[in-house]
C-alpha cells in the first residue's frame, strides 16, 4: 500500500518531508510539493487505509500545511489521484486500472509525461541527411498527440494494443501507457535524510593528557565507525573539537588520504595529530565528526603485489610525522631548478588500485629497450673529505672508512646559481674511480675558496668541515 502527499503552492518542502517521515522511513521525494510513502504495516497502528489518510492530513494541518492525500495499491495510481482530486482519496488494491479509466488524459502532463513522449516523437522522425526539424512551431504535448487520435481518458489510452502504441510512439509510449493503467515503472527508491556523522561526549570532570583522551576517543569512534559501515560510507575528513575549561575550542582537521572507517585507525590518527598539537588546557567535552564519502572498492590483481591498506599507510605516516615533525616526511618531488639535489616534499600516497600499480606485463621491461646501467646513490648529507689535488685534478681521496688513490677521474663539471640570494651554490663535480673498484661523485665548493680570498658576502649553504671544501656526494653504481 502506497500513499501520496501533494501540498499547496509555497509550502516548505522540509516541513512536508518531516510529516512524511513521521509515518514511514521509506519515502520518495517526487517534487518539492509531492512525496510518495510506503505505508505497508501501518494498519496495525492506525487501522484501515482511510484512517491512515485522515491521520496524515491532520498531522500536516498541525504543522500548518494543507495537503491532498491519496492511498492506492501502486505509487503511480496514488500520484495520479492526488493530482486529480482534492481532499482524501482511497483506492482498494487491485481496482486501480478501473478507477483510473475515467480520469482525463491531461493527467499525463501533470505526472511528467512531456519529456518521454517528446523523445518518442523525435525517434519517429525521418533520418534522411537533408531533413531539418521545424523550429517555428513548438512541440505539442503528449496529450495533444493522443487527442488527435480521438482519445480523451486514461482508460481509452490504456485499452490500445501495446504493440501498436510501440510502433507509433516507441518505448516511451508504452511506458506512459503503463502509467495510464496505474502500473509502477520502478520500485520506490527511499530518500535518505541528511545525516550527521558526529559523536559528542560530555565529561563528568576535566581531563588532561593523551592517555585519558584516548579512551574518550575510543568510545566516540566505535559508534561512528558502525554508522559509517551501515551507510557504506567512509571518512574523508576527520574533525576533532575539544572544548576546554577556558571556554575555548581546540579544533583539528585531518584530511585522510583514502576513505576509511576503522575505529582504531581513526583514533590513532587523531591521537598522533594531537600529540603534535596538544590543547592548552583541560578538556571537558569532546566532539568527533567526519565528512562522509562513498566507501572505496578495492580490486586486487593476481599479477602485482598488493599495497598496504590506506589505514596502515596513514598510521605509519602519522607516526613518522609525530617523530620527525610536520613537512619532514613524505615523497621527494623534483623541482624546476638546476641546483644539485634540489627537491620538494609531497605527501606520500602511492595509490590503492590496479590502475595505479599497472598490470604485470607493463612492469616487465622490454628486452630490446635500453636500460640504464649506472645510477647515483646520493648521500642525503654529503660527507666531508680530504682530497689531494695535482695539476687541478684530484689524485687521492681520504675519509674515515673509505678512500684511496684515484685511478680514473672524469670532470670537472661546473655548476653555479642563485648568486642573487644568500643560498648560492658554485661548485665543480668529479667522478673518481678509486683503487678499491668503487666510483664516487665528489665535488669542490668554490665558494669556500672565494671566501678565503676575501670576497665578503659569499656564504655556502653547507657546513665547512672538509679540507678545501671537498665533499663526497654519493656512490656511482
pLDDT tens-place string over residues 65-90: 888 898 888 888 888 888 888 888 88
SS3 content of the chain, % helix, strand, coil (to 5): 30, 30, 40
Residues of the chain above pLDDT 70, percent: 79
Residue 105 pLDDT exceeds 80: yes
366: pLDDT strictly greater than 50: no
pLDDT greater at residue 290 or residue 342: 290
The band of 179, judged by pLDDT with boundaries at 50, 70 and 90, is confident
Q: What cell does 243 get? A: 572544548
381: its cell numbers: 648529507
Q: Distance between CA 335 and CA 254 in Å, rounded? A: 27
Give the confidence band of 372 by pLDDT, cuts at 50, 70, 90.
low
What are the strands, taking DSSP E only, across 360-437? 376-384, 386-390, 393-399, 402-417, 425-434
Cα separation, 23 vs 37, whole angstroms: 8
Nearest to 269 by CA among 330, 298, 312, 308: 312
Total-model pTM: 0.47
pLDDT (average), residues 334-353: 72
Q: How many CB atoms lie within 10 A of CB 360?
A: 13
Domains of the chain: 1-126+136-194 (3.30.70.270), 198-271+282-294 (3.30.1490.100), 376-476 (no CATH)
Contact 444, 428 (CB under 8 A): yes
- Over the stretch 214-266, which tens digit does the pLDDT of each residue have? 999 999 999 998 988 888 888 888 999 999 999 999 999 888 877 888 888 88
- Going by C-alpha positions, the residue among 383, 373, 381 that lies closest to residue 442 is 383
E strand segments, 305-390? 331-334, 343-346, 376-384, 386-390
Per-residue pLDDT, 289: 92
Q: Of 358, 356, 330, which is closest to residue 345 (Cα–Cα)?
A: 330
pLDDT of residue 298: 65
The residue ranking higher by pLDDT, 266 or 132, is 266
pLDDT bucket at 112, cuts 50 / 70 / 90: low
CA 330 to mean position of chain CA atoms: 21
Over residues 197-220, the pLDDT tens digits come to 889 999 888 888 888 899 999 999
pLDDT in tens, 134-155: 333 444 566 788 888 888 888 8
What's the chain's length in residues?
477
Amino acid at each position: 500500500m502506497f500513499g501520496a502527499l501533494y501540498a499547496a503552492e509555497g509550502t516548505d518542502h522540509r516541513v512536508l518531508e518531516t510529516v512524511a517521515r513521521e509515518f514511514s522511513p521509506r519515502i520518495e521525494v517526487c517534487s518539492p510539493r509531492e512525496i510518495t510513502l510506503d505505508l505497508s504495516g501501518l494498519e496495525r497502528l492506525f487501522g484501515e487505509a482511510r484512517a491512515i489518510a485522515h491521520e496524515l492530513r491532520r498531522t500536516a494541518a498541525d504543522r500548518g500545511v494543507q495537503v491532498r492525500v491519496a492511498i492506492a495499491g501502486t505509487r503511480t495510481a496514488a500520484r495520479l489521484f492526488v493530482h486529480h482530486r482534492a481532499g482524501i482519496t482511497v483506492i482498494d488494491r487491485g481496482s486501480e486500472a478501473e478507477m483510473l479509466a475515467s480520469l482525463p488524459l491531461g493527467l499525463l502532463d501533470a505526472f511528467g509525461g512531456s519529456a518521454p513522449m517528446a523523445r518518442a516523437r523525435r525517434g519517429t522522425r525521418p533520418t534522411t541527411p537533408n531533413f531539418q526539424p521545424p523550429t517555428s512551431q513548438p512541440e505539442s504535448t503528449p496529450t495533444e498527440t493522443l487527442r488527435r487520435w480521438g482519445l480523451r481518458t486514461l482508460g481509452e489510452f490504456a485499452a490500445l494494443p501495446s504493440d501498436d502504441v510501440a510502433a507509433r510512439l516507441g518505448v516511451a509510449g508504452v511506458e506512459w501507457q503503463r502509467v495510464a493503467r496505474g502500473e509502477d515503472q520502478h520500485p520506490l527508491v527511499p530518500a535518505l535524510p541528511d545525516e550527521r556523522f558526529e559523536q559528542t561526549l560530555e565529561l563528568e570532570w576535566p581531563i588532561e593528557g593523551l592517555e585519558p583522551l584516548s579512551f574518550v576517543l575510543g568510545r566516540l569512534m566505535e559508534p561512528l565507525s558502525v554508522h559509517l559501515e551501515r551507510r557504506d560510507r567512509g571518512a574523508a575528513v576527520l574533525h576533532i573539537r575539544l572544548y576546554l575549561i577556558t571556554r575555548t575550542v581546540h579544533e583539528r582537521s585531518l584530511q585522510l588520504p583514502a576513505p576509511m572507517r576503522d575505529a582504531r585507525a581513526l583514533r590513532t590518527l587523531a591521537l598522533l595529530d594531537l600529540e603534535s598539537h596538544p590543547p592548552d588546557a583541560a578538556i571537558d567535552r569532546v566532539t568527533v565528526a567526519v565528512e562522509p564519502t562513498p566507501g572505496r572498492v578495492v580490486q586486487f590483481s593476481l599479477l602485482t603485489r598488493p599495497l598496504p591498506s590506506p589505514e596502515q599507510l596513514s598510521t605509519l605516516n602519522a607516526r613518522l610525522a609525530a617523530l620527525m615533525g610536520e613537512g619532514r616526511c613524505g615523497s621527494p618531488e623534483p623541482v624546476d631548478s638546476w641546483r644539485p639535489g634540489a627537491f620538494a616534499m609531497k605527501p606520500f600516497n602511492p595509490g590503492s588500485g590496479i590502475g595505479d600499480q599497472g598490470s604485470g606485463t607493463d612492469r616487465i621491461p622490454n628486452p630490446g629497450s635500453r636500460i640504464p646501467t649506472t645510477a647515483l646513490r646520493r648521500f642525503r648529507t654529503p660527507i666531508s673529505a680530504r682530497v689531494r689535488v695535482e695539476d687541478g685534478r684530484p689524485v687521492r681521496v681520504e675519509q674515515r672508512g673509505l678512500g684511496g688513490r684515484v685511478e680514473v677521474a672524469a670532470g670537472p663539471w661546473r655548476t653555479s646559481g642563485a648568486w642573487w640570494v644568500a643560498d648560492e651554490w658554485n661548485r665543480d663535480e668529479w667522478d673518481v674511480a678509486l683503487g678499491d673498484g668503487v666510483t664516487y661523485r665528489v665535488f669542490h665548493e668554490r665558494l669556500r675558496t672565494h671566501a678565503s680570498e676575501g670576497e665578503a658576502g659569499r656564504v655556502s649553504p653547507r657546513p665547512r668541515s672538509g679540507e678545501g671544501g671537498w665533499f663526497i656526494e654519493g656512490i656511482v653504481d
